[in-house]
Amino acid sequence: MRDYEMMYILNPTVADQEETLEGAITKVNTQVTDNGGELVNEDRWGKRRFQYEINKIKEGYYVVLKFKLDPEALDELNRVLKLNDNLVRYMIINEEEK
């Protein structure tokens, strides 16, 4: 298993309500663990304004997630995350290559 770090931005309409925010974060965490990953740390940065609009959205809720995952499962995780409508953007980096 390798160490990865993922930063993702949730849609602000989801982040406005506490129960939908928790549900959206839990959904992303579940997508990681369902692909054989192990959660290490979750850091919530909160709602921040974008420097420029992304798909007519001006702000988003930022979360940084550190996890362990087999490299073979990374493609499947990317595929599942692309289907998540609550995500505005996300990026996964390999911690070992920093």
Regions of the chain with pLDDT less than 50: none
- Residue 6, beta-bridge partner list: 65, 92
Domains in the chain and their CATH numbers? 1-36+47-59+72-90 (3.30.70.60)
What is the per-residue pLDDT for 97?
A: 65
**E strands, the chain, in order:** 2-10, 38-54, 57-69, 87-94
- Residue 91, beta-bridge partner list: 7
Confidence (pTM): 0.88
